[in-house]
Structure 1
Amino acid sequence: MHLSMLYRGRLSSCNYDCGYCPFAKTYDTRAALRRDAEDLARFVEWAGQQPMPLSILFTPWGEGLVRRHYRDALVRLSQLPRLRRVAIQTNLCVGMRWLDQADLNKLALWCTYHPSQVSRAAFVARCRELSRRGVRHSVGMVAMHEHLDEIEALSQELPAATPLWLNAYDERPPGYYDDAQIARLQAIDPHFRYNLEPSPSLGAPCLTGENVVSVDGDGNVRRCHFVAEPLGNLYDGSFAARLRPRACPNARCDCYIGYAHRKDLPFQRDYAGGVLERVPSFVLSSAPGPAPAPLKAAP
């Protein structure tokens, strides 16, 4: 059995101040950071003891890479013999030296560019350094009206093997995008409409709860971040008996980390080998650097 895990601990602080984000410039107390580090260490220890292959994506509310315990966890997890992939969502604001200790065949970064917080030149330079090091990564943006030209400029300047994905602006009013704007965005990210106009999810077959789960800092396991029903706990093993094929109970799923696991959508095929880090399979097959560890696509 291969298990993919989406881990979201207590961390909620972020060093950026994006106007659309509820976690902008929030701060965790020292006690909260200490508890988050303890929780994460426990999770890493558990992962190191598992006989099954694992893939792990960290999806913190805040920015994880500014915290040493997340960098250390990524390095250690990447070195586990049975781990297939470890990735984290990040604004890519930190230096690169910590990557020297990681197994780059297994580590990947899901990066987001925020034009109001960092210059394009500085961000692209970091992406070029990732490419030079052979670090598999994707880059994304929120497709706000004021950033459409910036999106196209970024797509021209990123390294050739760096995919650019786009999320629709969550707080958009009806009719926010016209047909010409949608066409511009789809020319950059052919999967943009899945985020813009999510297909109905209720009853759709999904890998979450079968071989994809969500885990919080206490080890509580749910099928995904968007379904509250608990499956059990990671550390007493009670979740394992409840893993089985399931249909989505929600009317709609509009977040990639949810709908990417639906069996009736193309992501398990189109992103085979890079679903967690949001890297399309055609990029993985053509990119230089370490060869990706194989991951099986869903049937």
Structure 2
Amino acid sequence: MDLTLLYRGPLASCDYDCPYCPFAKRRDPPELLRADRACLERFADWVACQEEDRLSVLFTPWGEGLVRSWYRQTLVRLSLLPQVRRVAIQTNLSFRTDWVDGADLDTLALWCTYHPGQTPYERFIGKCHDLAARGVRFSVGVVGLPGHLEQARRLRAELPERVYLWINAAEGHGYTDAEAARWTAIDPLFPYSRHPHRSAGLPCRTGESVLSVDGDGTVRRCHFVRAELGHLYDGSFRAALRPRPCPLAVCDCHIGYVHLETLPLYDVFAGGVLERIPAPAMRSRG
């Protein structure tokens, strides 16, 4: 069975202070960090035992995972398993990069976000070039706020051409056609992010081949639908896997709407859905 798992454990702490994020500069107490590590290790042990499945895993922590050794170790471990087709994580790239040398770089990938004002530009672009030199698959993105435009343009000019630079529409921010055109000049796929996508009653891969898993093993169809499908560790989720329409009015987050069957994004991001890397032939299309 081919399954994509979006894992989010208890971790909610971050080393950045982004004004658009509710978890900015949050610190987790030691007991929560210990719980998060135990949850992650349990999840990795489960993945290691699934020899009959073909798995893809995206870690979507509320906070920054790669500053924690157990996330780095887990990514390396999972990348080396034959049943894991892809393992990726969303990250602000504030960590050291030499740990990737122990991973299978055909399997590992990173979804990196640049947050202007939180880290020196030179430090961030330097880490991007280091990842590229090490042969790591990664994308880079920026939240599409007006004050980020020039930094995004500079990133696009200085990143290796093969590295996709995506732009996320800022939550609650409307874009005039002129503004949208400026962002689309940087990211030709920005039109997919500009407006929420109507999803009510439409077919979606979540709940059939794509699942959300939390730290205790509760399985849901995605992060945005709270109804439970079962539990990962007792296998009860498997009986609930089936095609099902989306129960929400709209879907406005890439990790959600990328799985809508009414959008062509599995073709656009063929081979790179989890790490948000479009197929080379699609990078020039909006």
Q: TM-score, normalised by structure 1?
A: 0.92
d(CA) in 2 for partners of 1:80, 1:15:
30
d(CA) in 2 for partners of 1:153, 1:106:
29
Note if 1:201 corresponds to 2:174: no
Q: Which residue of 2 aligns with 1:99?
A: 100
The answer (yes or no) to whether the contact 2:175–2:194 under 8 Å persists in 1 is no
The answer (yes or no) to whether the contact 2:268–2:282 under 8 Å persists in 1 is no
Structure 2: where are the runs of 5+ without partners? Answer: none
The answer (yes or no) to whether the contact 1:163–1:283 under 8 Å persists in 2 is no
Stretches of 4+ aligned residues off by more than 4 angstroms: none
1:233-252 equivalence runs, <5 A: 233-252=231-250
Q: Secondary structure at the match of 1:88?
A: strand
Task: Summarize deviations over 1:104-136 as a string: whole Å, max 9, x none.
Answer: 110000000001111222111111111111100
CA pair 26-284 structure 1, distance change in 2 beyond 3 A: same
Task: Summarize deviations over 1:132-167 as a string: whole Å, max 9, x none.
Answer: 111000001100011111111111111111101111
The answer (yes or no) to whether the contact 2:207–2:221 under 8 Å persists in 1 is yes
d(CA) in 2 for partners of 1:199, 1:234:
29
Aligned length in residues = 282
The answer (yes or no) to whether the contact 1:210–1:244 under 8 Å persists in 2 is yes
Give how far 1:237 is off: 0.3
The answer (yes or no) to whether the contact 2:10–2:36 under 8 Å persists in 1 is yes
Q: Secondary structure at the match of 1:165?
A: strand
d(CA) in 1 for partners of 2:130, 2:282:
18
Q: Secondary structure at the match of 1:239?
A: helix
Give how far 1:61 is off: 0.2
The answer (yes or no) to whether the contact 2:196–2:251 under 8 Å persists in 1 is yes
Q: Which moved more, 1:153-162 or 1:8-17?
A: 153-162
d(CA) in 1 for partners of 2:112, 2:197:
25
The answer (yes or no) to whether the contact 2:56–2:86 under 8 Å persists in 1 is yes
Q: Which residue of 2 aligns with 1:145?
A: 146
Letter in 2 for 1:215: V
1:79-94 equivalence runs, <5 A: 79-94=80-95
Task: Summarize deviations over 1:44-74 as a string: whole Å, max 9, x none.
Answer: 0000000201000000000000000100100
d(CA) in 1 for partners of 2:158, 2:181:
20
The answer (yes or no) to whether the contact 2:109–2:136 under 8 Å persists in 1 is yes
Q: Secondary structure at the match of 1:12?
A: coil
Q: TM-score, normalised by structure 2?
A: 0.96
1:119-268 equivalence runs, <5 A: 119-172=120-173, 176-268=174-266
Give how far 1:284 is off: 10
Q: Secondary structure at the match of 1:139?
A: strand
Note if 1:2 corresponds to 2:2: yes
d(CA) in 2 for partners of 1:166, 1:284:
16
Q: Which residue of 2 aligns with 1:41?
A: 41
The answer (yes or no) to whether the contact 2:141–2:167 under 8 Å persists in 1 is yes
d(CA) in 2 for partners of 1:158, 1:245:
39
Note if 1:16 corresponds to 2:26: no
Give how far 1:261 is off: 0.5
The answer (yes or no) to whether the contact 1:13–1:28 under 8 Å persists in 2 is yes
Letter in 2 for 1:190: P
Letter in 2 for 1:186: T
Q: Secondary structure at the match of 1:55?
A: strand
Letter in 2 for 1:27: R
Give how far 1:212 is off: 0.3
Letter in 1 for 2:89: I
Give how far 1:199 is off: 2.5
Q: Secondary structure at the match of 2:95?
A: coil
Q: Which residue of 2 aligns with 1:113?
A: 114
Give how far 1:275 is off: 0.3
d(CA) in 2 for partners of 1:270, 1:283:
8
The answer (yes or no) to whether the contact 1:10–1:32 under 8 Å persists in 2 is yes
Give how far 1:198 is off: 2.1
d(CA) in 1 for partners of 2:83, 2:260:
25
d(CA) in 2 for partners of 1:283, 1:255:
24
Q: Secondary structure at the match of 1:230?
A: strand
